[in-house]
Amino acid sequence: MASKAIVLITGANRGIGFGVARRLVREHPNYHVIIGSRDATQGREAASTLLAEEASSSPSISSVELDVTSDTSISAAKQTIEKEHGRLDVLINNAGIALDVKEKGKISLREMMQRTYDVNVFGASVVTDTFIPLLEKSDNPRIVFVSSSLGSLTFAADTKSQFSKEQFLAYKSSKTALNMVMLAYNSTLREKGFKVNAACPGYIATNLNSFYGTGTVEEGSENVVRLATLGKDGETGTFTAKDGPRPW
């Protein structure tokens, strides 16, 4: 029997990350899902919840403590996964924060920008760089960056677009930067057979936006899982949503 594909999802103890884990467990039983969580207890609880929900199918799930703002935590998570699995097939950079609404007026713009970029951009970059050696051991390595249409420069420049009217400076610009991070990694990894893509999950009601989104976590997970399970002939270097390509 072929071994299961190993997938790590950062920030997966709740929200879209948890929804992605649930969809993978339900639709792709040939995957072992690792829930990355800054809080180890919350990660274990999320894994236990999925194990209970899908008990009849004997799902393959575990969790690992992973704080994307800590190089020490990232390295420790890499060592744990290497020891337990020897490789990584899929990395989903899902961990993210949006402080523009929750913290506006409570913290300085500098602090808001620094904290947002530390998670959304720096964290995703360091996690990716750290796990590349394990991904290189896969025969079909895939990396998915969970981005947002709010990061589209094309939409932002279009005064008729709904996205140009949102003034979430820290969050929007961090997702623009994340798209560049994705493209930079794609340019260096595609020749090694990697599939590196960015996914917009949509305006999803999660803790990230105080549950003001119009879509469900289930809807938001669809395109992320599609990109995470691409075959060797799949796309790379793309920015897409459930309904198709998004402009840069």
**Hey, which residues are catalytic here?**
148, 171, 175
Helix axes 217-228 and 15-27, enclosed angle (nearest 10): 60
Distance CA 231, CA 226 (A): 10
Q: Residue 162, class by beta-carbon neighbours within 10 Å (0-12 exposed, 13-18 middle, 19+ buried)?
A: exposed
- Buried/exposed code over 46-59 (b: 16+ C-beta within 10 A; e: otherwise): bbebbeeebeeeeb
The C-alpha torsion from 111 through 159 and 152 to 204, rounded to 10°, is: 80
For 214, the token pair is 């119009």
